[in-house]
Structure 1
Amino acid sequence: MSHREEFKFHHKCEQLKIHHLIFADDLMLFSKGDFKSVVLLVRTLKAFAEASGLEASPDKTAIYFGSVTEDEQSRILRVSGYKKGSFPFRCLGVPITSKRLTKAECDILVDRMVKRIMSWSSRHLSYAARITLVNAVLMSLHTYWAQIFLLPKCVLHRIIQVCMAFLWEGKVVLSRAPLVAWDWIAQKHDLLWIKWIHNVYLRESDWWEYQTPTNASWVWRCICKVKEVFRFAYNNNNWLNGNKNYSIKEGYHWLQGPQEEVPWHYWVWNSANIPKHSFIAWLVALGKLKTRIVLAKAGICQTTMVVV
Protein backbone atom coordinates (compact mmCIF):
# COMPACT_ATOMS: atom_id res chain seq x y z
CA MET A 1 0.00 0.00 0.00
CA SER A 2 2.62 2.55 1.08
CA HIS A 3 4.70 1.84 -2.04
CA ARG A 4 1.93 2.86 -4.42
CA GLU A 5 2.22 6.31 -5.94
CA GLU A 6 -1.41 7.24 -5.25
CA PHE A 7 -0.97 6.72 -1.51
CA LYS A 8 0.08 9.90 0.29
CA PHE A 9 1.42 9.84 3.84
CA HIS A 10 0.23 12.06 6.66
CA HIS A 11 2.53 15.10 6.52
CA LYS A 12 4.01 14.31 9.95
CA CYS A 13 4.59 10.65 9.07
CA GLU A 14 6.13 10.94 5.62
CA GLN A 15 9.81 11.01 6.61
CA LEU A 16 9.54 7.92 8.82
CA LYS A 17 7.05 6.24 6.44
CA ILE A 18 4.58 5.60 9.24
CA HIS A 19 1.13 4.48 8.12
CA HIS A 20 -0.06 2.56 11.17
CA LEU A 21 0.44 2.03 14.91
CA ILE A 22 -0.83 -1.07 16.69
CA PHE A 23 -1.20 -1.57 20.44
CA ALA A 24 -2.68 -4.87 21.68
CA ASP A 25 -6.02 -5.01 19.85
CA ASP A 26 -6.12 -1.29 18.95
CA LEU A 27 -5.04 -0.16 15.47
CA MET A 28 -4.59 3.38 14.16
CA LEU A 29 -4.01 4.11 10.47
CA PHE A 30 -2.60 7.38 9.13
CA SER A 31 -2.66 8.96 5.70
CA LYS A 32 -3.05 12.25 3.91
CA GLY A 33 -6.69 13.36 4.01
CA ASP A 34 -7.38 12.76 0.32
CA PHE A 35 -9.87 10.32 -1.15
CA LYS A 36 -7.42 7.98 -2.91
CA SER A 37 -5.18 7.50 0.12
CA VAL A 38 -8.09 6.69 2.43
CA VAL A 39 -9.58 4.29 -0.11
CA LEU A 40 -6.28 2.40 -0.18
CA LEU A 41 -6.37 2.13 3.62
CA VAL A 42 -9.92 0.75 3.52
CA ARG A 43 -9.03 -1.76 0.78
CA THR A 44 -6.06 -2.92 2.84
CA LEU A 45 -8.32 -3.48 5.86
CA LYS A 46 -10.75 -5.52 3.76
CA ALA A 47 -7.93 -7.59 2.24
CA PHE A 48 -6.62 -8.29 5.74
CA ALA A 49 -10.11 -9.32 6.89
CA GLU A 50 -10.49 -11.76 3.99
CA ALA A 51 -7.10 -13.31 4.70
CA SER A 52 -7.31 -13.49 8.50
CA GLY A 53 -11.00 -13.46 9.33
CA LEU A 54 -10.42 -10.47 11.63
CA GLU A 55 -12.67 -7.59 10.65
CA ALA A 56 -12.78 -4.03 11.98
CA SER A 57 -16.02 -3.43 13.87
CA PRO A 58 -17.99 -0.55 12.30
CA ASP A 59 -19.31 0.40 15.76
CA LYS A 60 -15.79 0.73 17.18
CA THR A 61 -14.13 2.26 14.11
CA ALA A 62 -14.07 5.97 13.28
CA ILE A 63 -12.26 8.34 10.93
CA TYR A 64 -10.72 11.52 12.34
CA PHE A 65 -10.12 14.44 9.99
CA GLY A 66 -7.84 17.43 10.08
CA SER A 67 -8.01 20.28 7.55
CA VAL A 68 -10.24 18.27 5.19
CA THR A 69 -13.15 19.93 3.39
CA GLU A 70 -16.69 18.89 4.27
CA ASP A 71 -17.31 17.57 0.74
CA GLU A 72 -14.20 15.38 0.87
CA GLN A 73 -15.16 14.14 4.35
CA SER A 74 -18.64 13.14 3.18
CA ARG A 75 -17.18 11.32 0.17
CA ILE A 76 -14.68 9.40 2.32
CA LEU A 77 -17.27 8.45 4.94
CA ARG A 78 -19.72 7.27 2.29
CA VAL A 79 -17.18 4.96 0.63
CA SER A 80 -15.58 3.64 3.82
CA GLY A 81 -18.82 2.98 5.70
CA TYR A 82 -17.28 4.23 8.95
CA LYS A 83 -18.52 7.05 11.16
CA LYS A 84 -16.81 10.40 11.72
CA GLY A 85 -14.95 10.67 15.03
CA SER A 86 -14.18 13.69 17.17
CA PHE A 87 -11.37 14.51 19.59
CA PRO A 88 -10.65 13.49 22.24
CA PHE A 89 -11.13 9.75 21.82
CA ARG A 90 -9.87 6.99 24.10
CA CYS A 91 -7.21 4.47 23.22
CA LEU A 92 -5.84 2.00 25.79
CA GLY A 93 -7.64 3.88 28.54
CA VAL A 94 -6.18 7.34 27.86
CA PRO A 95 -7.64 10.34 25.99
CA ILE A 96 -6.06 11.06 22.60
CA THR A 97 -6.31 14.70 21.56
CA SER A 98 -4.49 17.18 19.37
CA LYS A 99 -4.55 19.83 22.10
CA ARG A 100 -3.29 20.24 25.62
CA LEU A 101 -4.98 17.95 28.15
CA THR A 102 -7.45 19.69 30.43
CA LYS A 103 -8.15 18.93 34.07
CA ALA A 104 -11.54 17.44 33.15
CA GLU A 105 -9.94 15.02 30.68
CA CYS A 106 -7.62 13.76 33.44
CA ASP A 107 -10.44 13.14 35.93
CA ILE A 108 -10.59 9.51 34.83
CA LEU A 109 -7.02 8.99 36.12
CA VAL A 110 -7.83 10.37 39.57
CA ASP A 111 -11.13 8.48 39.61
CA ARG A 112 -9.34 5.20 38.98
CA MET A 113 -7.01 5.86 41.90
CA VAL A 114 -9.93 6.74 44.16
CA LYS A 115 -11.81 3.55 43.19
CA ARG A 116 -8.76 1.43 44.04
CA ILE A 117 -8.45 3.12 47.44
CA MET A 118 -12.15 2.65 48.15
CA SER A 119 -11.73 -1.09 47.63
CA TRP A 120 -8.80 -1.14 50.09
CA SER A 121 -10.11 1.25 52.74
CA SER A 122 -12.09 -1.41 54.63
CA ARG A 123 -8.95 -3.44 55.32
CA HIS A 124 -6.55 -2.94 58.22
CA LEU A 125 -3.29 -2.19 56.42
CA SER A 126 0.06 -1.25 57.91
CA TYR A 127 2.11 1.70 56.69
CA ALA A 128 4.38 -0.69 54.80
CA ALA A 129 1.40 -2.32 53.06
CA ARG A 130 0.04 1.10 52.06
CA ILE A 131 3.43 2.14 50.69
CA THR A 132 3.52 -1.03 48.60
CA LEU A 133 0.08 -0.31 47.18
CA VAL A 134 0.95 3.34 46.48
CA ASN A 135 4.16 2.40 44.63
CA ALA A 136 2.93 -0.73 42.87
CA VAL A 137 -0.64 0.27 41.97
CA LEU A 138 -1.37 4.00 42.31
CA MET A 139 1.96 5.19 40.97
CA SER A 140 1.83 2.70 38.11
CA LEU A 141 -1.40 4.36 36.95
CA HIS A 142 0.24 7.78 37.17
CA THR A 143 3.42 6.58 35.42
CA TYR A 144 1.43 5.09 32.55
CA TRP A 145 -0.23 8.45 31.86
CA ALA A 146 2.94 10.46 32.51
CA GLN A 147 4.82 8.46 29.87
CA ILE A 148 2.29 9.67 27.31
CA PHE A 149 1.30 13.17 28.45
CA LEU A 150 2.53 16.18 30.35
CA LEU A 151 -0.13 16.28 33.05
CA PRO A 152 -1.47 19.64 34.31
CA LYS A 153 -0.08 20.80 37.66
CA CYS A 154 -3.49 20.71 39.31
CA VAL A 155 -3.81 17.02 38.38
CA LEU A 156 -0.38 16.24 39.84
CA HIS A 157 -1.33 18.02 43.07
CA ARG A 158 -4.56 16.01 43.23
CA ILE A 159 -2.65 12.74 42.73
CA ILE A 160 -0.30 13.71 45.57
CA GLN A 161 -3.26 14.48 47.83
CA VAL A 162 -4.91 11.14 47.10
CA CYS A 163 -1.73 9.11 47.66
CA MET A 164 -0.86 11.06 50.80
CA ALA A 165 -4.34 10.56 52.29
CA PHE A 166 -4.20 6.83 51.65
CA LEU A 167 -0.69 6.49 53.10
CA TRP A 168 -1.41 8.28 56.38
CA GLU A 169 -5.07 7.45 56.99
CA GLY A 170 -6.05 4.74 54.52
CA LYS A 171 -8.71 7.03 53.09
CA VAL A 172 -9.34 9.14 50.00
CA VAL A 173 -9.38 12.48 51.87
CA LEU A 174 -6.87 13.56 54.52
CA SER A 175 -8.69 14.89 57.59
CA ARG A 176 -5.63 16.16 59.48
CA ALA A 177 -2.05 17.24 58.87
CA PRO A 178 0.24 14.33 57.87
CA LEU A 179 3.08 13.24 60.13
CA VAL A 180 5.70 13.96 57.45
CA ALA A 181 5.54 16.45 54.55
CA TRP A 182 5.15 14.87 51.12
CA ASP A 183 7.90 16.24 48.83
CA TRP A 184 7.77 14.70 45.37
CA ILE A 185 9.56 13.87 43.75
CA ALA A 186 14.75 7.56 27.73
CA GLN A 187 17.22 7.85 25.91
CA LYS A 188 16.87 4.88 23.49
CA HIS A 189 17.40 5.99 19.90
CA ASP A 190 15.38 3.07 18.52
CA LEU A 191 12.20 4.24 20.22
CA LEU A 192 9.59 5.60 17.82
CA TRP A 193 9.01 8.84 19.72
CA ILE A 194 12.78 9.51 19.77
CA LYS A 195 12.88 9.01 16.00
CA TRP A 196 9.83 11.27 15.71
CA ILE A 197 11.49 14.10 17.66
CA HIS A 198 14.67 13.90 15.62
CA ASN A 199 12.85 13.79 12.27
CA VAL A 200 10.07 16.28 12.93
CA TYR A 201 11.70 18.81 15.28
CA LEU A 202 15.46 18.51 15.79
CA ARG A 203 16.52 17.43 12.28
CA GLU A 204 20.21 17.10 13.22
CA SER A 205 20.21 20.45 15.02
CA ASP A 206 22.41 20.95 18.06
CA TRP A 207 20.15 20.31 21.07
CA TRP A 208 21.64 23.10 23.19
CA GLU A 209 21.32 25.71 20.42
CA TYR A 210 17.93 24.50 19.19
CA GLN A 211 15.18 27.13 18.96
CA THR A 212 11.60 25.94 19.49
CA PRO A 213 9.38 26.68 16.44
CA THR A 214 6.20 28.65 17.09
CA ASN A 215 4.02 25.90 15.57
CA ALA A 216 5.42 23.17 17.82
CA SER A 217 3.08 21.22 20.08
CA TRP A 218 2.48 22.32 23.66
CA VAL A 219 4.24 19.21 25.02
CA TRP A 220 7.37 19.85 22.96
CA ARG A 221 7.46 23.52 24.00
CA CYS A 222 7.32 22.49 27.67
CA ILE A 223 10.22 20.07 27.19
CA CYS A 224 12.25 22.79 25.50
CA LYS A 225 11.55 25.20 28.38
CA VAL A 226 13.23 22.74 30.74
CA LYS A 227 16.16 22.54 28.34
CA GLU A 228 16.50 26.33 28.48
CA VAL A 229 16.74 26.16 32.29
CA PHE A 230 19.65 23.72 31.99
CA ARG A 231 21.29 25.74 29.23
CA PHE A 232 21.16 28.92 31.32
CA ALA A 233 22.74 27.06 34.23
CA TYR A 234 25.40 25.60 31.94
CA ASN A 235 26.30 28.98 30.46
CA ASN A 236 26.68 30.38 33.97
CA ASN A 237 28.82 27.44 35.11
CA ASN A 238 26.20 26.35 37.63
CA TRP A 239 25.94 22.84 36.28
CA LEU A 240 27.98 20.13 34.50
CA ASN A 241 31.28 22.03 34.93
CA GLY A 242 31.67 22.52 31.19
CA ASN A 243 30.71 18.97 30.22
CA LYS A 244 27.68 18.73 27.93
CA ASN A 245 27.21 15.00 28.56
CA TYR A 246 24.54 14.55 31.17
CA SER A 247 21.94 12.07 32.40
CA ILE A 248 18.31 12.54 33.38
CA LYS A 249 19.15 11.41 36.92
CA GLU A 250 21.87 14.07 37.28
CA GLY A 251 19.58 16.75 35.90
CA TYR A 252 16.79 15.78 38.28
CA HIS A 253 19.06 15.92 41.31
CA TRP A 254 20.37 19.30 40.19
CA LEU A 255 16.84 20.69 39.85
CA GLN A 256 16.01 19.42 43.34
CA GLY A 257 18.91 21.37 44.83
CA PRO A 258 21.11 20.33 47.77
CA GLN A 259 19.50 17.71 49.99
CA GLU A 260 20.33 17.08 53.61
CA GLU A 261 21.99 13.71 54.19
CA VAL A 262 20.95 12.18 57.49
CA PRO A 263 23.25 9.82 59.43
CA TRP A 264 20.54 7.20 59.98
CA HIS A 265 19.72 6.69 56.31
CA TYR A 266 21.59 3.42 55.81
CA TRP A 267 20.35 1.59 58.89
CA VAL A 268 16.72 2.55 58.20
CA TRP A 269 16.49 2.02 54.43
CA ASN A 270 18.37 -1.15 53.59
CA SER A 271 17.34 -4.43 51.98
CA ALA A 272 17.92 -6.42 55.18
CA ASN A 273 15.06 -4.66 57.00
CA ILE A 274 11.42 -5.68 56.84
CA PRO A 275 9.52 -2.81 55.11
CA LYS A 276 7.18 -2.35 58.07
CA HIS A 277 10.15 -2.00 60.44
CA SER A 278 11.89 0.43 58.09
CA PHE A 279 8.87 2.73 57.94
CA ILE A 280 8.37 2.77 61.70
CA ALA A 281 12.10 3.36 62.25
CA TRP A 282 11.90 6.26 59.78
CA LEU A 283 9.08 7.86 61.77
CA VAL A 284 11.04 7.35 64.98
CA ALA A 285 14.14 8.98 63.47
CA LEU A 286 12.06 12.00 62.46
CA GLY A 287 10.40 12.19 65.87
CA LYS A 288 6.96 11.69 64.34
CA LEU A 289 5.86 8.39 65.87
CA LYS A 290 2.81 8.84 68.08
CA THR A 291 3.61 6.12 70.60
CA ARG A 292 4.72 8.42 73.41
CA ILE A 293 1.79 10.78 72.82
CA VAL A 294 -0.62 7.89 73.33
CA LEU A 295 1.27 6.76 76.43
CA ALA A 296 1.22 10.29 77.89
CA LYS A 297 -2.55 10.55 77.40
CA ALA A 298 -2.93 7.26 79.26
CA GLY A 299 -0.79 8.60 82.12
CA ILE A 300 1.93 5.99 81.60
CA CYS A 301 4.71 8.51 80.83
CA GLN A 302 5.17 12.17 81.78
CA THR A 303 6.57 13.56 78.52
CA THR A 304 5.80 13.23 74.82
CA MET A 305 9.32 14.20 73.74
CA VAL A 306 11.10 11.66 71.59
CA VAL A 307 14.87 11.46 72.02
CA VAL A 308 16.69 10.33 68.88
Structure 2
Amino acid sequence: MDWDFIKDMLVALGFPYHFVKIIVTCLTSTTFALTVNGSPLKFLKAKRGLRQGDPMYPLLFVLGMEYLSPILKCTSQDESFMFHLRWLESFTDASGLHANSSKSAIYLAVLSKEHQFDILRQINLPLRKLQFRYLGVPLNSRSISAFDCEKLIFLLPKKVIKQVNSICRSFFWHYDGIDSKPGNVKWDSLCKPKKEGGLGIRNLEIWNLAAIGKIAWHISSLQESLWVRWVHGVYTKGGNWLIFNPPVTASWAFKKLCKVKGLVSQWLSAVQYSVSSVYDSLRVPSPPVKWASLVSLMMTLVVFVVVEVNLLSTYSLAVTIVSNALFSSPHGLM
Protein backbone atom coordinates (compact mmCIF):
# COMPACT_ATOMS: atom_id res chain seq x y z
CA MET A 1 0.00 0.00 0.00
CA ASP A 2 1.47 3.35 -1.07
CA TRP A 3 2.37 5.82 1.68
CA ASP A 4 0.92 8.79 -0.23
CA PHE A 5 -2.39 6.92 -0.44
CA ILE A 6 -2.42 6.33 3.33
CA LYS A 7 -1.62 9.99 3.97
CA ASP A 8 -4.42 11.15 1.65
CA MET A 9 -6.89 8.80 3.35
CA LEU A 10 -5.99 10.08 6.83
CA VAL A 11 -6.42 13.68 5.68
CA ALA A 12 -9.71 12.92 3.92
CA LEU A 13 -11.09 11.22 7.04
CA GLY A 14 -10.39 14.34 9.08
CA PHE A 15 -7.45 13.28 11.24
CA PRO A 16 -5.45 16.18 12.76
CA TYR A 17 -2.46 17.34 10.73
CA HIS A 18 0.00 16.70 13.59
CA PHE A 19 -1.30 13.15 13.98
CA VAL A 20 -1.01 12.49 10.24
CA LYS A 21 2.56 13.82 10.29
CA ILE A 22 3.52 11.41 13.10
CA ILE A 23 2.02 8.42 11.25
CA VAL A 24 3.78 9.34 8.00
CA THR A 25 7.09 9.71 9.86
CA CYS A 26 6.67 6.22 11.36
CA LEU A 27 6.02 4.79 7.90
CA THR A 28 8.78 6.55 6.00
CA SER A 29 11.50 5.88 8.61
CA THR A 30 11.28 2.11 8.11
CA THR A 31 14.56 0.30 7.43
CA PHE A 32 15.42 -3.37 6.88
CA ALA A 33 18.59 -5.41 7.18
CA LEU A 34 19.38 -8.82 5.71
CA THR A 35 21.23 -11.31 7.90
CA VAL A 36 23.88 -13.45 6.20
CA ASN A 37 25.77 -16.07 8.23
CA GLY A 38 24.47 -14.51 11.42
CA SER A 39 25.68 -10.99 10.64
CA PRO A 40 23.39 -8.14 9.45
CA LEU A 41 24.29 -6.38 6.23
CA LYS A 42 23.79 -2.72 5.37
CA PHE A 43 20.36 -1.32 6.25
CA LEU A 44 17.94 -0.80 3.37
CA LYS A 45 15.36 1.97 3.39
CA ALA A 46 11.77 1.03 2.58
CA LYS A 47 9.91 2.85 -0.18
CA ARG A 48 6.31 1.67 0.26
CA GLY A 49 4.07 -0.82 2.06
CA LEU A 50 3.14 -1.67 5.64
CA ARG A 51 5.17 -3.91 7.91
CA GLN A 52 3.53 -7.10 9.15
CA GLY A 53 3.71 -7.24 12.93
CA ASP A 54 3.51 -3.46 13.25
CA PRO A 55 0.69 -2.58 15.73
CA MET A 56 -0.49 0.14 13.34
CA TYR A 57 -0.64 -2.19 10.34
CA PRO A 58 -4.22 -3.57 10.73
CA LEU A 59 -5.65 -0.14 11.60
CA LEU A 60 -4.04 1.63 8.65
CA PHE A 61 -5.02 -1.20 6.33
CA VAL A 62 -8.67 -0.96 7.39
CA LEU A 63 -8.63 2.81 6.82
CA GLY A 64 -7.15 2.25 3.37
CA MET A 65 -9.87 -0.26 2.49
CA GLU A 66 -12.47 2.40 3.25
CA TYR A 67 -11.60 3.79 -0.18
CA LEU A 68 -12.93 0.60 -1.76
CA SER A 69 -16.42 0.73 -0.23
CA PRO A 70 -17.72 3.80 -2.10
CA ILE A 71 -16.24 2.45 -5.34
CA LEU A 72 -18.26 -0.76 -5.01
CA LYS A 73 -21.37 1.17 -4.03
CA CYS A 74 -21.16 3.52 -6.99
CA THR A 75 -20.32 0.87 -9.57
CA SER A 76 -23.14 -1.41 -8.37
CA GLN A 77 -25.59 1.31 -9.39
CA ASP A 78 -24.17 1.40 -12.92
CA GLU A 79 -26.44 -0.33 -15.45
CA SER A 80 -23.44 -2.01 -17.08
CA PHE A 81 -22.24 -3.40 -13.74
CA MET A 82 -21.77 -7.19 -13.81
CA PHE A 83 -19.25 -8.19 -11.15
CA HIS A 84 -16.94 -6.41 -8.74
CA LEU A 85 -13.48 -7.34 -10.00
CA ARG A 86 -13.94 -5.47 -13.28
CA TRP A 87 -14.07 -2.21 -11.36
CA LEU A 88 -11.06 -2.61 -9.07
CA GLU A 89 -8.55 -1.00 -11.38
CA SER A 90 -9.18 2.48 -9.93
CA PHE A 91 -8.60 1.16 -6.43
CA THR A 92 -5.40 -0.56 -7.54
CA ASP A 93 -4.10 2.60 -9.19
CA ALA A 94 -4.81 4.70 -6.10
CA SER A 95 -3.62 2.36 -3.36
CA GLY A 96 -0.89 0.39 -5.10
CA LEU A 97 -2.44 -2.89 -3.97
CA HIS A 98 -2.54 -5.71 -6.50
CA ALA A 99 -4.29 -9.06 -6.20
CA ASN A 100 -1.87 -11.97 -5.81
CA SER A 101 -3.02 -14.41 -8.49
CA SER A 102 -1.23 -17.33 -6.82
CA LYS A 103 -3.28 -16.78 -3.63
CA SER A 104 -6.56 -15.77 -5.26
CA ALA A 105 -9.44 -17.75 -6.70
CA ILE A 106 -13.03 -17.17 -7.76
CA TYR A 107 -16.12 -18.98 -6.46
CA LEU A 108 -19.28 -18.90 -8.61
CA ALA A 109 -22.81 -20.03 -7.86
CA VAL A 110 -26.14 -20.17 -9.69
CA LEU A 111 -24.63 -19.13 -13.02
CA SER A 112 -24.85 -20.69 -16.43
CA LYS A 113 -21.76 -22.17 -18.05
CA GLU A 114 -21.75 -19.30 -20.55
CA HIS A 115 -21.67 -16.62 -17.83
CA GLN A 116 -19.03 -18.51 -15.89
CA PHE A 117 -16.81 -18.73 -18.96
CA ASP A 118 -17.25 -15.00 -19.65
CA ILE A 119 -16.28 -14.04 -16.09
CA LEU A 120 -13.27 -16.36 -15.98
CA ARG A 121 -12.04 -15.07 -19.35
CA GLN A 122 -12.03 -11.45 -18.16
CA ILE A 123 -10.75 -11.97 -14.61
CA ASN A 124 -8.14 -14.65 -15.36
CA LEU A 125 -8.36 -16.34 -11.95
CA PRO A 126 -8.72 -20.08 -11.26
CA LEU A 127 -12.21 -21.38 -10.49
CA ARG A 128 -12.52 -23.18 -7.15
CA LYS A 129 -15.33 -24.89 -5.31
CA LEU A 130 -16.37 -24.78 -1.67
CA GLN A 131 -15.18 -25.75 0.83
CA PHE A 132 -12.09 -23.69 1.59
CA ARG A 133 -10.47 -22.45 4.78
CA TYR A 134 -10.09 -18.94 6.11
CA LEU A 135 -7.81 -18.59 9.14
CA GLY A 136 -8.15 -22.34 9.66
CA VAL A 137 -11.95 -22.30 9.75
CA PRO A 138 -13.70 -24.30 6.99
CA LEU A 139 -16.21 -22.25 4.99
CA ASN A 140 -18.86 -24.28 3.28
CA SER A 141 -22.42 -23.94 2.08
CA ARG A 142 -23.22 -27.16 3.93
CA SER A 143 -22.61 -28.21 7.52
CA ILE A 144 -18.99 -29.03 8.31
CA SER A 145 -18.02 -32.55 9.30
CA ALA A 146 -16.79 -33.79 12.67
CA PHE A 147 -13.32 -34.19 11.13
CA ASP A 148 -13.23 -30.47 10.28
CA CYS A 149 -14.32 -29.54 13.79
CA GLU A 150 -11.51 -31.56 15.38
CA LYS A 151 -9.00 -29.12 13.87
CA LEU A 152 -10.67 -26.11 15.50
CA ILE A 153 -9.11 -26.25 18.95
CA PHE A 154 -9.18 -23.10 21.05
CA LEU A 155 -7.87 -22.27 24.52
CA LEU A 156 -11.02 -21.06 26.27
CA PRO A 157 -10.72 -19.05 29.50
CA LYS A 158 -12.93 -20.21 32.37
CA LYS A 159 -15.05 -17.07 32.12
CA VAL A 160 -15.90 -17.86 28.49
CA ILE A 161 -16.75 -21.47 29.38
CA LYS A 162 -19.01 -20.23 32.18
CA GLN A 163 -20.83 -17.88 29.80
CA VAL A 164 -21.32 -20.63 27.21
CA ASN A 165 -22.67 -23.00 29.86
CA SER A 166 -25.02 -20.27 31.06
CA ILE A 167 -26.44 -19.83 27.53
CA CYS A 168 -26.85 -23.60 27.08
CA ARG A 169 -28.49 -24.00 30.49
CA SER A 170 -30.90 -21.13 29.78
CA PHE A 171 -31.83 -22.58 26.39
CA PHE A 172 -32.30 -26.07 27.86
CA TRP A 173 -34.62 -25.05 30.70
CA HIS A 174 -36.21 -21.81 29.47
CA TYR A 175 -36.00 -22.12 25.64
CA ASP A 176 -33.84 -19.02 25.17
CA GLY A 177 -30.23 -18.04 25.72
CA ILE A 178 -30.66 -14.94 27.88
CA ASP A 179 -32.68 -16.13 30.88
CA SER A 180 -30.50 -16.00 34.00
CA LYS A 181 -32.82 -18.11 36.15
CA PRO A 182 -31.27 -21.38 37.38
CA GLY A 183 -32.53 -24.71 36.10
CA ASN A 184 -34.30 -27.41 38.06
CA VAL A 185 -31.17 -29.55 38.15
CA LYS A 186 -27.48 -28.69 38.40
CA TRP A 187 -25.79 -28.44 35.02
CA ASP A 188 -22.97 -30.74 36.16
CA SER A 189 -25.56 -33.45 36.81
CA LEU A 190 -26.95 -33.08 33.30
CA CYS A 191 -23.43 -33.57 31.91
CA LYS A 192 -23.16 -37.08 33.38
CA PRO A 193 -23.52 -40.07 31.03
CA LYS A 194 -26.98 -41.61 30.78
CA LYS A 195 -25.93 -44.74 32.64
CA GLU A 196 -24.96 -42.50 35.58
CA GLY A 197 -28.32 -40.72 35.61
CA GLY A 198 -27.41 -37.77 33.36
CA LEU A 199 -28.36 -36.80 29.83
CA GLY A 200 -24.96 -37.31 28.20
CA ILE A 201 -24.30 -33.59 27.58
CA ARG A 202 -20.60 -32.85 27.26
CA ASN A 203 -18.94 -30.94 30.08
CA LEU A 204 -17.42 -28.04 28.13
CA GLU A 205 -14.59 -27.34 30.57
CA ILE A 206 -13.38 -30.96 30.61
CA TRP A 207 -13.87 -31.32 26.86
CA ASN A 208 -11.76 -28.22 26.24
CA LEU A 209 -8.98 -29.65 28.41
CA ALA A 210 -9.07 -32.90 26.45
CA ALA A 211 -8.98 -30.99 23.15
CA ILE A 212 -6.06 -28.84 24.30
CA GLY A 213 -4.29 -32.06 25.26
CA LYS A 214 -4.26 -33.02 21.59
CA ILE A 215 -2.06 -30.01 20.89
CA ALA A 216 0.36 -31.27 23.55
CA TRP A 217 0.22 -34.71 21.89
CA HIS A 218 1.09 -33.16 18.51
CA ILE A 219 4.21 -31.65 20.08
CA SER A 220 5.14 -34.86 21.88
CA SER A 221 4.69 -37.07 18.80
CA LEU A 222 6.55 -34.61 16.55
CA GLN A 223 3.66 -34.15 14.13
CA GLU A 224 4.61 -32.43 10.88
CA SER A 225 3.49 -28.81 11.30
CA LEU A 226 5.02 -25.37 11.51
CA TRP A 227 3.60 -24.92 15.03
CA VAL A 228 5.34 -28.07 16.35
CA ARG A 229 8.65 -27.07 14.79
CA TRP A 230 8.32 -23.60 16.31
CA VAL A 231 7.73 -24.96 19.83
CA HIS A 232 10.75 -27.27 19.64
CA GLY A 233 12.91 -24.58 18.08
CA VAL A 234 12.00 -21.75 20.47
CA TYR A 235 11.12 -23.47 23.75
CA THR A 236 12.27 -27.08 24.18
CA LYS A 237 15.38 -26.73 21.95
CA GLY A 238 15.94 -30.48 21.80
CA GLY A 239 14.87 -31.11 25.40
CA ASN A 240 12.20 -33.47 26.69
CA TRP A 241 8.74 -32.01 26.11
CA LEU A 242 7.19 -34.29 28.76
CA ILE A 243 9.15 -32.63 31.58
CA PHE A 244 9.41 -29.17 30.06
CA ASN A 245 8.38 -26.21 32.23
CA PRO A 246 7.42 -22.93 30.50
CA PRO A 247 9.53 -19.83 31.19
CA VAL A 248 8.07 -16.86 33.01
CA THR A 249 8.03 -14.84 29.79
CA ALA A 250 5.82 -17.39 27.98
CA SER A 251 2.32 -16.39 26.94
CA TRP A 252 -0.80 -17.30 28.89
CA ALA A 253 -1.85 -19.73 26.15
CA PHE A 254 1.46 -21.61 26.19
CA LYS A 255 1.48 -21.80 30.00
CA LYS A 256 -2.07 -23.18 29.85
CA LEU A 257 -0.94 -25.77 27.31
CA CYS A 258 1.92 -26.89 29.56
CA LYS A 259 -0.46 -27.17 32.51
CA VAL A 260 -2.87 -29.36 30.55
CA LYS A 261 0.10 -31.44 29.38
CA GLY A 262 0.50 -32.70 32.95
CA LEU A 263 -3.17 -33.76 33.09
CA VAL A 264 -2.93 -35.87 29.93
CA SER A 265 0.66 -37.07 30.33
CA GLN A 266 -0.35 -40.75 30.12
CA TRP A 267 -1.73 -40.15 26.62
CA LEU A 268 1.23 -38.23 25.18
CA SER A 269 3.16 -41.38 24.29
CA ALA A 270 0.22 -43.06 22.57
CA VAL A 271 0.23 -43.77 18.85
CA GLN A 272 -3.14 -42.01 18.45
CA TYR A 273 -4.95 -39.44 20.56
CA SER A 274 -8.70 -39.62 21.06
CA VAL A 275 -10.35 -36.54 22.53
CA SER A 276 -13.39 -38.60 23.57
CA SER A 277 -11.28 -41.19 25.40
CA VAL A 278 -9.25 -38.53 27.22
CA TYR A 279 -12.49 -36.74 28.13
CA ASP A 280 -13.79 -39.92 29.77
CA SER A 281 -10.54 -40.36 31.68
CA LEU A 282 -10.53 -36.77 33.00
CA ARG A 283 -14.15 -36.90 34.13
CA VAL A 284 -14.88 -38.07 37.69
CA PRO A 285 -17.32 -41.00 37.30
CA SER A 286 -20.45 -41.47 39.39
CA PRO A 287 -22.11 -44.76 40.39
CA PRO A 288 -24.52 -46.07 37.74
CA VAL A 289 -28.24 -45.69 38.43
CA LYS A 290 -30.67 -48.60 38.37
CA TRP A 291 -33.39 -46.89 36.39
CA ALA A 292 -31.22 -46.00 33.38
CA SER A 293 -31.99 -49.27 31.58
CA LEU A 294 -35.72 -49.10 32.32
CA VAL A 295 -36.63 -45.96 30.41
CA SER A 296 -36.31 -44.74 26.84
CA LEU A 297 -34.36 -41.68 25.77
CA MET A 298 -37.53 -39.56 25.71
CA MET A 299 -38.40 -40.49 29.30
CA THR A 300 -34.87 -40.09 30.67
CA LEU A 301 -35.32 -36.38 31.41
CA VAL A 302 -38.62 -37.01 33.24
CA VAL A 303 -37.14 -39.65 35.51
CA PHE A 304 -33.98 -37.58 35.93
CA VAL A 305 -35.88 -34.53 37.20
CA VAL A 306 -38.07 -36.65 39.48
CA VAL A 307 -35.06 -38.26 41.11
CA GLU A 308 -32.72 -35.24 41.26
CA VAL A 309 -35.26 -32.69 42.48
CA ASN A 310 -36.54 -35.14 45.10
CA LEU A 311 -40.20 -34.57 44.26
CA LEU A 312 -40.94 -37.93 45.92
CA SER A 313 -39.78 -39.16 49.28
CA THR A 314 -37.33 -41.85 48.22
CA TYR A 315 -35.34 -42.87 45.19
CA SER A 316 -36.89 -46.34 45.05
CA LEU A 317 -40.43 -44.96 45.15
CA ALA A 318 -39.73 -42.68 42.19
CA VAL A 319 -38.28 -45.51 40.13
CA THR A 320 -41.15 -47.84 41.00
CA ILE A 321 -43.90 -45.40 40.03
CA VAL A 322 -42.30 -44.37 36.76
CA SER A 323 -41.47 -47.95 35.83
CA ASN A 324 -45.03 -49.11 36.55
CA ALA A 325 -46.44 -46.24 34.47
CA LEU A 326 -44.26 -47.21 31.52
CA PHE A 327 -44.86 -50.95 31.61
CA SER A 328 -48.62 -50.55 32.22
CA SER A 329 -48.97 -48.45 29.07
CA PRO A 330 -50.60 -50.36 26.16
CA HIS A 331 -47.71 -49.21 23.95
CA GLY A 332 -45.00 -50.28 26.36
CA LEU A 333 -41.70 -48.42 26.25
CA MET A 334 -41.55 -45.56 23.74
TM over 0.5: no
Shorter-chain TM-score category? 0.3 to 0.5
Give the TM-score, by structure 2 length: 0.36
Please identify the structure whose Cα radius of gyration is greater.
2
